[in-house]
Amino acid sequence: MFNKKIQNKTELRDEINLILNNHSLRNSLLETQLIISYSAKRLNYLDVKFDEIDIQEIEKIIKERLKGMPLSKIIKQKGFWKDIFYTDENTLDPRSDSEILIENIIKDFKSLKNTYFNFIDLCCGTGCLGISLLKEFEFAKCDFIDISSQALLNCKRNISTLSVNRRSSVFESDLFENYPISNIKNTKFIICNPPYIPTKQYFLLDKETLNDPKISLDGGSKGLNFYIRIIEFLESQQFTGYVYFEIDPIIEQELDKFLLEKALKIVYKKQDYLNLDRLLKVTFP
């Protein structure tokens, strides 16, 4: 695969970067460093020594990457916030866009840093949102809810790896259908990244995104199915806390109409790193 005998880590980095660049893969240098680190079983590229690197492993990874498989699905890990999370074909990959939810919840509840409280990570997938918040709020507890048993296995794995077991509970449930309703009244807030791609637009997604499970992406005809179900249920339970939703510009207009009909209070919207509306914080009248 490589055009010459590799003598050191820098040469290897440059060779891999060239291969990825020639196939028009974005973030080729970052991916190169991740590949080398993974092959050497190191978290940080700077800590890798050349004799630790597994060249055969790297060649296998590159072959899969050039077929269009996302790197995260090949090495089964993805960085989010301050940690590395296990992910595979059963879970939506953590994305940096979602970190805006973590940032703003930390700001909103900074006075509760040393306080006991409960929150819910709904449609949790890998658990990256809830786990990241548990690491920031050391006295908080989180209920993780997902419909997918396979996704919950990944979530449990991340909960264990990142040592938040004692403050985590996991529920296999279609939203709140199999969740203890009595827990809701003691919930300070709910964080949720629901499926929100309109069904007709699902197959128009880029090839890499289509490696994520459809169940984590398809939000129904207008992309609003899960928002509507969640809001109507919480309304029926007279929920008094806050809901932090991840949103997308493709559904924002229709979602705003629904919120207006329900007379929900939009506390704020926040933009992601690309200046797109990505976070919606709501509360009930």
Structure tokens that stand for 192 in this block: 């949720």
Whether 87 and 210 map to the same domain: the answer is: yes
Instruction: State how beta strands 277-283 and 265-271 pair.
Output: antiparallel
**Residues 157, 57: one domain?**
no
Q: How many structural domains are present in the chain?
A: 2
Instruction: Identify the domain containing residue 156 by its residue range.
Output: 77-283
pLDDT tens per residue across span 38-73: 999 998 999 999 999 999 999 999 999 999 999 999
In this prediction, what percent of the chain has a pLDDT beyond 70?
99
Q: Per residue in 101-120, pLDDT tens?
A: 999 999 999 999 999 999 99
Do 126 and 158 belong to one domain?
Answer: yes
- pTM to 2 decimal places: 0.94
Which pLDDT tens digits describe the chain residue by residue (285 residues)? Answer: 776 688 899 999 999 999 999 998 889 999 999 999 999 999 899 999 999 999 999 999 999 999 999 999 999 999 999 999 999 999 999 999 999 999 999 999 999 999 999 999 999 999 999 999 999 999 999 999 999 999 999 999 999 999 999 999 999 999 999 999 999 999 999 999 999 999 999 989 998 999 999 999 999 999 999 999 999 999 999 999 999 999 999 999 999 999 999 999 999 999 999 899 999 999 998
Half-sphere exposure of 31 (CA within 13 A, CB side): 25
Q: Are residue 264 and residue 181 in the same domain, yes or no? A: yes
